[in-house]
Chains A and B, each alone.
Chain A
Amino acid sequence: MKSRIFGTETEYGIVVRDDGSSDPVNNSILVIGSCPVLPATHILWDYENENPLNDARGFEIEGEKERPGPEYNRLLNKLMFNGGRLYVDGAHPEFSTPECLTPREVVAYEKAGERIMELCRETSNRIHRRDNGTLLYKNNTDGKGNSYGYHENYLVERSVPFDRLLTELVPFLATRQIFTGAGKARSENHTDAVDYQISQRADFFEVLVDLNTMVKRPIMNTRDEPHADSSKYRRLHVIVGDSNMSEISTYLKVGTMLLVLAAVEEGELSGISFENPVRAIKEVSRDLTLKKKYRLADGRELTAIDIQRVYLEKAKKVFKHEKEGYSKELLARWESVLNQLEEEPALLSKELDWLIKKELMESYMAKKKCGWDDPRISMMDLQYHDISHEKGLYYAMERDGFVTRLITDEEITRAMDYPPEGTRAYFRGMCLRKFPKEVYAASWTSVLFDTGNAVIKRIPLMDPFKGNKALVEKIFNSSFSVRELLEKLAS
């Protein structure tokens, strides 16, 4: 399997109890500003190479680029030891994982981001004397028609036409929720009423393709900002997924996407096209039996599981000779999950978020003799995603053995402190660990040093595969000052 760089961004819902003003921007700034595990507090985010207005369909949208002044820049952005970014986006605290190479890695860094967020929350409550006043939710909706995102980013070769990605990926994305959905009680955004549905986000997708992420959300987003050489790569910005608490759901969400992207690149195409994908994504979310058939453009009728199996078979064909790497384990789990979903979805009530949450709510309703309309069920729907281990209901289920895990706490702790070793995140993370005082600014594509000289020295990181451990570990080990590091990098 060709190496691919990818990562995720998670926006968190935020509440400050007994807060008269309830300004979410200010509250988010206070939370990330309390982060107790920062390399340094003076470091800026380097906006130089940012351009979120490039459209994958080949044009640039007019609009103002984000360029906050230094003081506000520092309030909004925190660079982390692990090479990730903690920041405030709109009215939410957010964490972007560093650039990863394996799905297991991304699970560890996403959970690491969650733990860092939790440390911020606890510290913020202590500093600002708010007892347990600040609460953070790793979910995607307030249940009143306002959604906040979870985005996946995959580096894709520019030579793959966007139209091919669009055609191939839409049916895959509309049906993968059967294992990636985080579950939701009831419906919103003027969609059909329901007691419980598979996905948090499905109600919000109104068009097929667009650059927008906040209104009229598209199943395929066209933001084309590769944070790399744009003549070689495009960025596939997937905004249609749910934030997951379950490690296995995250693993499958990102992992199956990697397999499907490889199949598309190899020309192993599914040939599937929905008659109406925007309607299908909501219908799939509402069919808890997974038996419903959807009409395709060519007249065939297939279930969501059938459609996933078509993609699975294409991926199997592409990876049949692969012995190393993560594809074997992933293909096996993908297939076994589809088999179990076909036999009886409840078989996965320890593995997948929408089924863990369903089991939790149904057990509660049985015990308390209440129904879906009980406000306590809506509360559970939200509190399942509370990232506090004392209050979060996902963590209550995990603690009592009702959740199967994928990774260990040790992997998560390590991912909080150290960058992935296979990408440029290693270079960024090591600069922040070894020379935090001299790092003036950094971004996905740069590290800037201030060594007290007349000019700030900028190290470009345009190739996300370079700057990995194999290439630069020796240089870091033998450099005892930034000057030495810069000399060795130049020679």
Chain B
Amino acid sequence: MAKQEKRQDKKKEVEKKEETSAPAANISKKGEKIKEDLDKLMDKIDDVLEENAEEFVKNYVQKGGE
């Protein structure tokens, strides 16, 4: 029983190693995809960003709190 478990653990380890040593091309592809998605999000940001950013930020004055 114990041996079997050990063997399984080893198998898992090997699988893990394989996962982490996935081809570099895949990783950079993933990175590119994230960049693309972020790029798309940036267009949407303009739709929600307060208009007249400069004015808005200038007028945002708070009393110190606490």
The residues of A with any CB-CB pair to B shorter than 8 Å are: 11, 13-15, 24, 89-92, 141-144, 146-149, 151, 213-215, 239, 359, 363-364, 367-368, 375-376, 378-380, 382-383, 390-391, 393, 396-397, 400-402
Contact = CB atoms under 8 A, between A and B. Distances in A.
A396 B45 contact: yes
Interface string B32-66: 00000111011111001110011011001111111
A91 B50 CA distance: 23
B63 A90 contact: yes
A363 B61 CA distance: 27
Interface of B: 37-39, 41-45, 48-50, 53-54, 56-57, 60-66
Contacts, number: 92
Given A379-B56, A397-B41, A400-B41, A24 B63 contact: yes
Q: Looking at chain B's contact residues, is the secondary structure mostly helix, strand, loop, or mixed?
A: helix
B43 to A, nearest CB: 8
Contacts of A378: 53, 57
B44 A144 contact: no
Contacts of B61: 142, 144, 146
B63 to A, nearest CB: 4
Q: Looking at chain A's contact residues, is the secondary structure mostly helix, strand, loop, or mixed?
A: mixed
29 contacts: A11-B66, A89-B66, A90-B66, A91-B62, A91-B65, A92-B62, A141-B62, A142-B60, A143-B57, A146-B61, A146-B62, A148-B63, A148-B64, A213-B66, A214-B64, A214-B65, A359-B38, A363-B39, A363-B41, A364-B45, A375-B54, A375-B57, A376-B49, A379-B56, A380-B45, A380-B49, A391-B48, A400-B41, A402-B37
A378 B56 CA distance: 10
Contact of A390 (B38, B48, B66): B48
